[in-house]
Amino acid sequence: MEEEGKMVREWRRLKKIDDLTYIGECDSEHPAARVFGGHVLAQAMSAAYYTAPEGFYVHAVHCYFIRGGEESIPITYNVKIIRDGRNFAIRYVEAVQHGKVIHLAEFSLQKLASVKDTFSLTPEFPAHVPGPDGLISNISGRHQKVAEGFDARELRGQVTERMAPSLEIRPADLNMFLHGTGGVNQKQYLWIRYKIPVDKSDYMLRHATIVYLSDLELVTTGALCFNDKMFKLQTSMDHSAWIHQYEFDINDWILYEQECVANSNHRSLIHGRLWSRDGKLIMSTSQEALIYKVQPSKI
């Protein structure tokens, strides 16, 4: 909810209108462009949590990015209670600007007390990836490349300095991140850290924050299959996430493993895994990204 005495623009700030309606603002200090999709998804998740029964945790998310939102305009979140069962609940959230839906999200919540079996199965942690210490951030790397004479328009990666200032990203392979691979490799690894401290007891904010950063750079990974330097359009179409661990340290670095597994009809399919530093699989993601290449001019 809104924090008293704190005027900084921050995605965590939601104002309650009634039991099923909330309003949020963007976290960019100088809002002047399209809102970050992960920001809208995280606020929608927070709104869903505010209406959920006590002790129910979000375990699955499915959403569609319908229209580009404006950073300077507050977003209204309308929550629909689809079902409140014994062990599971469903919430449906519409994000609205100017009377039009810009984002749709569905959240499935599980009653934590209903979990009795401790069995778990996860893939192997990619231990070969270098740790975040000593790596260069995406922002610093971009500035260095521009200083070296590279055209900023030809450098890949989202401009997180503006749209997600509360996050820090350190690519394991900076050259791959900024220049691509010539279509040779479709997988990359990113270390991501949320810079604003989150109270360890606040599970709702912890889960909303991991969803917030789960939308980062999947579109960039979806373009790894191309040898092109510039693109006409790169945007997320939909996003799904599954939370495997309800307890994790969101204040620590998280490794985001991303791979483009398919592309057809201008659409890339990207799968992702978010790992804790100690090798636990926190979340799995899947996203379809719309990517249009710049067509060569006809003579």
Confidence at residue 180, expressed as pLDDT on a 0 to 100 scale: 80
- Both 107 and 205 in one domain: the answer is no
CA–CA dist 101, 112 (Å, integer): 32
Q: Is the pLDDT confidence value at 9 over 50?
A: no
Specify whether 32 is located in the same domain as 167: no
Residue 231 in any domain: the answer is yes
Residue 299, pLDDT > 70, answer no
pLDDT band at 1 (very low <50, low <70, confident <90, very high): very low
pLDDT digits (tens, 9 = 90+) for 68-104: 888 888 999 999 999 999 999 999 999 999 999 999 9
Tens of pLDDT, residue by residue over 236-258, are 899 999 999 999 999 999 999 99
Q: Indicate whether 292 belongs to any domain.
A: yes
Total structural domains in the chain? 2
Give the end of a domain, one of 112, 146, 171.
112
Residue 3 is predicted with a pLDDT of 39
Spatial contact of 228 and 293, defined as CB atoms under 8 Å apart: yes
Using pLDDT thresholds of 50, 70 and 90, give the confidence band for residue 8: very low
| One domain, residues 142 and 244 | yes
- SS3 assignment, position 146: helix
> What's the DSSP call for residue 208?
H
Nearest in space to 40 (alpha carbons), one of 64, 9, 6, 4: 64
**Domain span at 244:** 133-298
How far, CA to CA in Å, does 265 sit from each of 4, 44, 290, 297? 48, 30, 9, 21
Say which CATH number the domain at 217 has: 3.10.129.10
Same domain? 186 vs 264: yes
The 10s digit of each residue's pLDDT in 261-287 is: 998 998 999 999 999 999 999 999 999
Q: How far is CA 227 from CA 10, 101, 157, in A?
A: 37, 35, 15
Burial 228-264 (b: 16+ CB within 10 A, else e): eeeeeebebebbbbebbeeebebbebbbbbbbbeebe
From the list 162, 224, 163, the residue with the least C-alpha distance to 190 is 224
Q: Is the pLDDT of residue 294 over 80?
A: no
Q: Are 194 and 11 in contact (CB under 8 A)?
A: no
